[in-house]
Amino acid sequence: MRDPNDVSASELLDLWMENSPEAVIRISLGKSEEMCTSEMKLTGKSVLGTILRNYGGIICCAGHVRHFGGANRHCASLFEINTVKDGFPTLLPGLLVVAEDSGGGIFGINCGFNKVYPNGSLFYLPQDSYQWEAMEIGHADFVRWTLCMTRNKWKEYGWGCGREPFTDLRKADLMLKGRVCTYIAL
Boundaries of every domain in the chain:
8-152+166-185
Domain 8-152+166-185 has CATH 3.30.1360: no
Residue 97 has pLDDT above 70, yes or no: yes
Q: Which of 150, 139, 172 is nearest to 50 (CA)?
A: 139
* Beta-carbon contacts of residue 19 (< 8 Å; ≥ 6 apart): 147, 148
High-pLDDT (> 70) share of the chain, %: 87
The mean pLDDT value for 79-105 works out to 88
Residue 166 has pLDDT above 50, yes or no: yes
User: What is the Cα–Cα distance from 93 to 28, expressed in whole angstroms?
Assistant: 28
Residue 57 has pLDDT above 90, yes or no: yes
CA angle 5, 9, 12 (to 5 degrees): 75
The mean pLDDT value for 42-46 works out to 78
Residue 96 has pLDDT above 90, yes or no: yes
The mean pLDDT value for 11-39 works out to 82
Q: What is the pLDDT of residue 1?
A: 42
Residue 3 has pLDDT above 50, yes or no: no
Q: Are strands 65-68 and 57-60 parallel, antiparallel or unpaired?
A: antiparallel
Q: What is the pLDDT of residue 2?
A: 47
Question: Helices 9-18 & 47-54, crossing angle to 10 degrees?
Answer: 70
CB 109 within 8 A of CB 70: no
User: What is the Cα–Cα distance from 186 to 181, expressed in whole angstroms?
Assistant: 9
pTM value is: 0.89
Q: What is the pLDDT of residue 66?
A: 95
* Dihedrals phi, psi of 175, to nearest 5 degrees: -65, -40
User: What is the Cα–Cα distance from 12 to 153, expressed in whole angstroms?
Assistant: 22
For residue 48, the number of C-alpha atoms closer than 13 Å in the C-beta half-sphere is 21
User: What is the Cα–Cα distance from 112 to 95, expressed in whole angstroms?
Assistant: 7
Q: What is the pLDDT of residue 145?
A: 94
